[in-house]
Amino acid sequence: MVEALTIVLAMGVTRGWRAALVGTGAALLALAAIVAALGPALTVIPIGALRLVVGALLLVFGLQWLRKAILRASGWRAVRDEQALFEREAAEARTAARESHAGLDWYGFTVSFKGVLLEGLEVAFIVVTFGSTQGSIPLAAAGAGAAAVIVVIAGVVVRGPLGRVPENTLAYVVGVMLTTFGIFWGAEGAGVDWPGDDAALPGVLAFVLLVSLGYVTSLRRRRLAPA
């Protein structure tokens, strides 16, 4: 969401706010359509198979987030720089040709649309998977909407890219949560009975947290060790 805000800000400042905001609105409508289409389709699947599919998806996404966050936290991968991304996007936008479609600057519209759609797709998948497993897609969508509103308000208040947001810490927390639920539901879907049923969830969370922190420490030591 933070990256999407940076892209839209860069387009708004350099190419005009109309195209940037229309592109953002169109992408949000497309994301809502994806959630509206996928959500009811998933509820048709039996709960056991649904948990297996959702668990596998959450594990794939969660481990992607966690892997990147661990590599960044341990110094093996550069931490994202929102200010640099903003300046790069703005520089490209200034030199791009002006072409109008339906009264809109096409470059500003398409870059904003793609930025919000691609960044929002993961959020849409999280909404659909969590919502369908817990039987309340509207509530999950409302949570994602609230997060988007907070990011937009923060962007308006700061009047620029959210460079001071601890983005890697947020990505790390999201990675830990997705991996935890992925393990829990994936195992249930595969036929596992957790000791204590839902009470096992905090135990899985603690395990993922401790293991990932151990990996950060180990990789950081490895990086700082003399060659």
Partner 1 sequence: MKRFARFWWDFVVGDDWRVAAGIAVALALTALLAATSIPAWWFLPLTVAAVLWLSLRRAARY
Q: Is 160 helix (H, G, I), strand (E, B) or coil?
A: coil
First to last CA, the chain: 39
Q: x-or-dash pattern for partner 1, window 152-181, by CB under 8 A? A: ---------------------------x--
Tell whether residue 213 is a contact of partner 1 (CB under 8 A). Answer: no
Token couple for 63: 């481990």
What CA–CA distance (Å, rounded) separates 106 from 100? 5
Q: Phi first, then psi: what are they for 105, rounded to 5°?
A: -65, 115
Q: Which of 21, 151, 187, 213 binds partner 1 (CB under 8 A)?
A: 187
Residue 117 near residue 35, CB atoms below 8 Å: no
Residue 172 near residue 31, CB atoms below 8 Å: no
> Based on CB atoms, which residue is closest to partner 1, 55 or 155?
55
Tell whether residue 135 is a contact of partner 1 (CB under 8 A). Answer: no
What CA–CA distance (Å, rounded) separates 193 from 162? 43
What CA–CA distance (Å, rounded) separates 3 from 180? 25
> Based on CB atoms, which residue is closest to partner 1, 28 or 121?
121
Q: Cβ of residue 156: shortest distance to partner 1, in angstroms? A: 29
Q: Phi first, then psi: what are they for 225, rounded to 5°?
A: -65, 140
Residues 24-83 that bind partner 1 (CB under 8 A): 52, 55-57, 59-60, 63-64, 66-68, 70-71, 74, 76-77
> Based on CB atoms, which residue is closest to partner 1, 103 or 191?
191
Tell whether residue 194 is a contact of partner 1 (CB under 8 A). Answer: yes
Q: Which of 115, 120, 161, 186 binds partner 1 (CB under 8 A)?
A: 186
What CA–CA distance (Å, rounded) separates 211 from 206? 8
Q: Cβ of residue 118: shortest distance to partner 1, in angstroms? A: 8
Tell whether residue 226 is a contact of partner 1 (CB under 8 A). Answer: no
What CA–CA distance (Å, rounded) separates 63 from 58? 8
113 C-beta neighbours (distance < 10 Å), count: 23
Q: Cβ of residue 44: shortest distance to partner 1, in angstroms? A: 21
Query: What angle, rounded to 10 degrees, do the helices at 17-43 and 106-134 form?
Result: 30
Using CB under 8 A, which of the segments 97-105, 149-157, 162-170, 187-195 binds partner 1?
187-195
Tell whether residue 204 is a contact of partner 1 (CB under 8 A). Answer: yes
What are the residues binding partner 1 (CB under 8 A)? 52, 55-57, 59-60, 63-64, 66-68, 70-71, 74, 76-77, 121-122, 179, 182-183, 186-187, 189-195, 200, 204, 207-208, 211-212, 215, 219, 222-223
